[in-house]
Structure 1
Amino acid sequence: MSSLGAEIRDQFPILQQEVNGHPLVYLDSGASSQKPRSVIEAIKHYYEWDHSNVHRGVHTLGSRATDAYEGARDKVAAFLNARHREEIVFTRGTTTAINLVASGYARSVCGEGDEIVLTPMEHHSNLIPWQQVAKATGATLKYIPLQPNGTIDLADAEKTITDKTKIVAVMYVSNVLGVTNPVKDIAAIAHRHGAVMLVDGAQSTPHMKVDVQQLDCDFYAFSGHKMCGPTGIGALYGKKELLENMEPIEFGGEMIDRVDLYESTFKELPYKFEGGTPIIAGAVGLGAAIDFLTDIGMDRIHEHDTHLAKYAYERLSQIHGLTLYGPRDNRTGLVTFNLKDVHAHDVATVIDQEGIAIRAGHHCCQPLMRWFNVNATARASFYLYNTEDDIDRLVEALKHTEDFFNSIG
């Protein structure tokens, strides 16, 4: 049993409330995590004491704001073990980061007959941008097939990735299946064929230690709001030589070097990709979230979240009429399920009356839902502030839900 959730729960003000007359059990961290007091206070302090625009002013507040913003970049670089701080580009989140690579890199290297390799489990944010690249360039989309339990076999990756492949884009951890994909091995296969590897780290970065050099991925995208940080901030890691050859996709202030009436030049990395006033407070909050997670230890967080996922799978598998999706093992941070003959939205609505928050729907993975042959699923996703008691509450609520619908059915 992990004690982490009980130790730190008091540091999250939002979790101290009741919902519908019951103590809140928040099991929707896969969509967005809650924020510890230290992150909230860091953002508050920035707005109360340091707020100014960055990089431009020579006054004291401008200098303090710039130091805070660039200090957050250093924290992200260290957190991911990037080789250079210039390899960290602040974005609005994972979606924006992937779109930056799709538009700024892929459209210039892909052409007729080239291939872009994905998996059927990808979040729409790591699917639709590549569809648009394929339409614009004539490249072909290919998919590494899934095993019956939703995992990837590296033999299938070897067959799917060819010398025609230019880009491989795979999520590290599935937001539906909870599986951890072998992205390091897939990156090695991609590189043998001269392709680049993008990793969607939205669901992995909050739950495990990430070392982009060890993974040898070429691009890595993540969001702050899923890892105790604020919404509207994330980052793209890219190998320096690739970023240097990429074109920016947003133009205006902040990202320029020299502007003439008919031509302009752009700043060095990473600033050529950060046009306009950046998300300064968001970066400050993200830096505070990284401090918070680092103080706890990512290894401890991973052990805790993996334990909760295993415990939840075992408890939920005992409920009659409940179908679980994905493998029993190799699971991080979540379980996805359906109650027989009850729509996932109805399940989520009923247990909300007992103060339990879960997600229901297609989870921005409609192709994967069709692979399951369902329209929607319910998902309980866990984080460092959850406990076994939270899962026990979920199990009892689902039993009550099953009894309720059986009684009216």
Structure 2
Amino acid sequence: MVSYSRHILFWWYDRRFTYRFVYHYYCTIYFVYRHTLGTIADRFGRKGGLLLNNVFVLIAVVLECVAKPAASYEMIAAGRFFIGINSGLNAGLTPMYLAEISPVNLRGAVGTVYQLVITISIFIAQVLGLEYILGGNKWPVLLAMTVVPALFQVFTLPLCPETPKYLLLSRGKEVEAQRALAWLRGSVAVSDEMNEMRAEFEAVKMVPKVTMKELFTNSALRIPLIIALTMMMAQQLSGINAIMYFSTQIFTDAHLKPDDAQYATLGMGGLNVFMTVVSLILVEKAGRKTLLLVGFAGMTIDVFVLIFTMVYSKESQFARYMCIVLILIFIILFASGPGSIPWFLVGELFNQSARPMATSLAVMVNWAANFTVGLGFPLIKDAIGPYVFVIFVVCLALSTVFIYKKVPETKNKTIEEIAAMFRQQSYQ
């Protein structure tokens, strides 16, 4: 029985990569769907919620590290369940925290930092996951590394203040909000921002707390909600995670040697980090809508050409290397805007009363699409080969049209100005 369980354990990790993500994404979708994200953000605050969330990391690490000596694949499943809860909450609370502490002129750049840290984490995981580092039989050590960023946050986040907007608009603590804002700006000259928050506070007091039903029935909220959910779905259905999860397999299918395929994947991760840094600079210069349009339109063309190069990679060495070039171009286009903007765009489209609930829905849609791609891509790829990317071409093309017609430019606009714009649209 022990040997059978151990066989299943290694099969789980070494044979069917896709199923590592089933529990991770399913529990995230379910957890966020139950409105837990919005409840935690309102009750404990953005900072408090992030701190409490680290409990799930500790539970997950213990379960995943004990799984191998206990020869229990059920422990891996349980560990993925808890790390999925942590990921779902982090995906909502972190962009919310960053959006609320940022000055208007740097809101996009600060929001992009969230995606930058994700790309750095992916790259580090790719390096550590190499066979001769922490891959193969050393995977429990690799999974235990999850506790490092959690401990770092536990020791450093208490040094940071809660967001001024949460303190004032949700708790009515004006003195504490002003103190937090002065700490964040490094100056006591924060009267203009405090006046803006006071005006928003007075407006929020006159409006009852936004419910799930109101998000869909109030046209002034429904329009930005549709934009936020569509952009979250478009980000995942672009094919980025199909390429990130299965990049080594894609390169191998393009008839590269296994070592070349692995190093090409590492190069892709490094390029992802570099371009996200570039995006951090561009987002406040070019604007959100411009970067989204360039990114999605460029990815549409790129993936369309990639289909042909993969089809002819068996006969042509040029086509094989073009696959690498096109995937690297895809990463450049994705990281330049589509990778980061949807995450902080949600915080820009909604005021304080609607932001937690809207963020809950947006995170749910993002991870649901992520789950669908992670589970469905290998199955469809096995059935139709490279032509699976036709699905992504269609999604990318539709996303480009949607961005051009519906997504507003939010650069250098206050939350009240953006809300007024949607109220005007709802009456037209």
TM-score band by shorter chain is under 0.3
> Normalising by the residue count of structure 1, what TM-score does the alignment of the two structures yield?
0.24
> Normalising by the residue count of structure 2, what TM-score does the alignment of the two structures yield?
0.23
Q: Where is the helix percentage greater, Structure 1 or Structure 2?
A: 2
Q: Where is the strand percentage greater, Structure 1 or Structure 2?
A: 1
